[in-house]
With several copies, the nearest count.
Chain A
C-alpha cells in the first residue's frame, strides 16, 4: 500500500491487533469483587516504563487521587499520552515521564505549563510525539474497534503530522488524501467515574469525554468512583453502563477523587486549589513543595481530603452543576 507521507515521530507504543486480542481473551468475564485502595491498585497494575494515560483531564472528572498515588509510589520512566492539566503536571514535576504522545499539556485559563517546559526543555522528557486531541482519541477508538488504524483528515499538511507517527495515503474509493492513525493500546488507563459497582460496571453523568474509548483501548483499567453502588442499580439501568466490568481490573472508592477539579452534579472545581498549583509550579522548588505538601506528606486520599478540610469540600459541593 503506497504511503505518501510518514510522520517522523516515534511510534512509542506499537500495536499488534492479534496480540491485543490474545490479551483480551485472557481477561476474566467473571463477576469478581475488584474493590481496593489507590495504593493497592497502583502497586498492582502500574509499573516503571509502562504506557499510561488518564481521562478526562486535570480539572474535570479526573482520577486525581490515582494520579497522586502514582507520584507517591514514584512509578518512573512512564510513557504517557494526552491531554492533561494538573494530573500530568504532577507526573512531570515529579520527574516520572520519559516519553509523551502529546496533544495538550497546559493550565488552560492559566496558560502554559511551567512543569512541562522544565521537563521537556531540560531533556528529562526524551521524546514528544505530536497529535491533535481528535487524533489521539481516534487512535484509542481504533484499538477499541479492534482495527489497526483509523483514517482522518486532521493533521494533514501540518508539522503536527510531520512530528507524529501518522501516515498519509490515498483513499482507494475516491482518491482523496487521508491520514491514517495507528491504533493505541495503553498498558494502564486511569478513569474516574460517578458510580461503579464492586465488579467495575460504571456510570458517568454529563459529558463522557473519551472514557468509552480509553476503557476499551487499554490492557489494565483502574477505575475510581465517587460512589460504589449495588449491581442491582447497574442491572436496572443497563443503558447507562458506559464501562462494563469485564474491562476493569480495579475499582477504587474515591469520594472527591477529582479534587481540586470538578465532578459534574456532585461538586464544582476548587479554584483556590487549582491556583495553588499554578502559583507553586512556577518554580521547580515550588512544585516540589506542593508535592511534599499534598502527596509525599500524606498517606493517601483520606489524609489528602483531611488536609483540604470539610469546609472547602462543602464549598465545592455548593458550586456543583445542577440538573435544571
Chain B
C-alpha cells in the first residue's frame, strides 16, 4: 500500500472528528471544530446534531462555515432561531458536547482567551470569551482543540476564561456550575489527552503517529499524567483525507 502523507492539522482534525458521538448535540466553535464536525458527519457520526452559537441547529453541513452565524450554520437545518435559544438549550442541559479552542490551557482544562499577562495592562489582548465560557459552563462534555507547545500548555492560565475543572475535584459544583459537567478531551497537534477522574488532571491518552511520549512531555508546560499504556492514534484514512481535501476544505482555508 502507498504511504499516505498528511499534515498535523489534518491528523488533529481526524482525531477530533472520531470523538463525535453519533446522535449527540454538539456545540461547534469557529475553525477546526467545524472541519472535525463535517468530517464526523460524513464518517462515524451521520446523526450528529451541530449547534451553532447564533441560532443554527441541525444544519446539513454541505459547505464549511467560516463564521458561527453564517447561513451555512443552518443550511437545511432543523431550526434557525437566536443566540438565546442556543445558550438556553445549553444551560438547560440539551447540548452534549462543546468543541472549542483557546490560547492557553492548564492541567485542569481551564482555557484562556482573554489576555496574556495582566488583565488591565495585557501583553496581548485576545478576543475574549465569546461563547466559550457558556459552552464550557453548560455543555455536558467539552473538547479542547489546541496547538501543542509549552506556551499554550501552561501550569496556570493567565485568565480563566472558560471553566475546566477550575482548581480540581468538586470545584465546579462548589462554584455553582452544573452537576456532572466538565472537560473530556484535549486534541492537540501532538496527541490526544483525557482527564484522570480522581484528580481532574490532564492525562496523556494517545500520541499521534510518529510523535514520542517524550516529545509530548517536552512540549507540555506542566506535569502530564501518564496512563499505564499510551495508545497511538490511527493515522488519517485515505477516505478521511479525501473528504477533508476534496469535500470539506477544498479552498484550503485550514489544511
Q: Does B60 contact A (CB under 8 A)?
A: yes
Q: Is A116 an interface residue (CB 8 A)?
A: yes
CB contacts (< 8 Å) of B70 on chain A: these are: 59-60, 262, 269
Shortest beta-carbon distance, B46 to chain A, in Å? 11
Please determine whether A321 and B92 come into contact, CB atoms closer than 8 angstroms: no
Could you say which of A24, A320, A321 contacts B93, with CB atoms under 8 Å apart? A24
CA distance A217 to B121 in the complex (A): 31
- A244:B176 contact, CB within 8 angstroms: no
Kindly state whether residue A132 has any CB partner on chain B within 8 Å.
Answer: yes
Contact B179 A21 (CB under 8 A): yes
| Pairwise interchain contact A207-B54, C-beta atoms closer than 8 A | yes
A residues in contact with B160, CB < 8 Å? 157-160
The complex places the Cα of A85 from the Cα of B75 at a distance, in Å, of 22
A163: interface (CB < 8 Å): yes
Tell me the minimal C-beta distance from A60 to chain B in angstroms.
4
User: How many residue pairs at the A-B interface have CB separations less than 8 Å?
Assistant: 270
Contact B129 A133 (CB under 8 A): yes
State the interface size on chain B (CB cutoff 8 A). Answer: 77
State which of B77, B125, B138 has its C-beta within 8 Å of the C-beta of A120. B125
Classify chain A: how many residues form its interface, as a range: 35 or more
Whether A104 is near chain B, meaning CB under 8 Å from some CB there, is yes
Min Cβ gap A154→B in Å is 5
A61 to B56, CA, bound (A): 14
> Is B67 in contact with A131, judged by CB distance below 8 angstroms?
no
Of A40-48, A143-151, A281-289, the one with at least 4 CB within 8 A of chain B: A143-151
Which chain A residues border B163 with CB–CB below 8 Å?
156-158
- Listed stretches B1-9, B79-87, B214-222; interface member: B79-87
Cβ-based interface call for A31 (8 A): yes
Chain A CB count within 10 A is highest, among B25, B68, B127, for B127
Query: In terms of DSSP, what is the predominant structure of the interface of chain A?
Result: mixed
B41 within 8 Å of A by Cβ? no
Of chain A, the residue at the smallest CB distance from B181 is A21
Give the residue of A103, A116, A138 whose beta carbon is less than 8 angstroms from that of B84: A138
Chain B residue contacts of A105, Cβ below 8 A? 127-128
Q: B147 contacts which chain A residues (CB < 8 A)?
A: none
Partner among B56, B81, B124, B130 whose Cβ is within 8 Å of the Cβ of A104: B130
List residues of chain A with CB within 8 A of the CB of B67: 59-60, 85, 108-109, 269
Q: Taking the complex as formed, is A208 at the interface, i.e. its CB lies under 8 A from any CB of chain B?
A: yes
Question: Could you tell me the distance in whole angstroms from the C-beta of A278 to the nearest C-beta in chain B?
Answer: 12
Closest 5 CB pairs of A and B: A177-B176, A157-B175, A21-B93, A146-B91, A321-B71
Measured CB to CB, the residues of B under 8 A from A are 23-25, 30-31, 47, 49, 53-58, 60, 66-84, 87-88, 90-94, 96, 110, 114, 119, 121-134, 137-138, 140, 159-163, 166, 171-172, 174-180, 253
> Can you list 16 A-B pairs, Cβ within 8 angstroms, ordered by A?
A18-B179, A22-B180, A28-B23, A133-B53, A133-B131, A141-B84, A153-B91, A157-B172, A158-B110, A163-B114, A176-B176, A177-B176, A207-B74, A207-B81, A241-B81, A244-B79
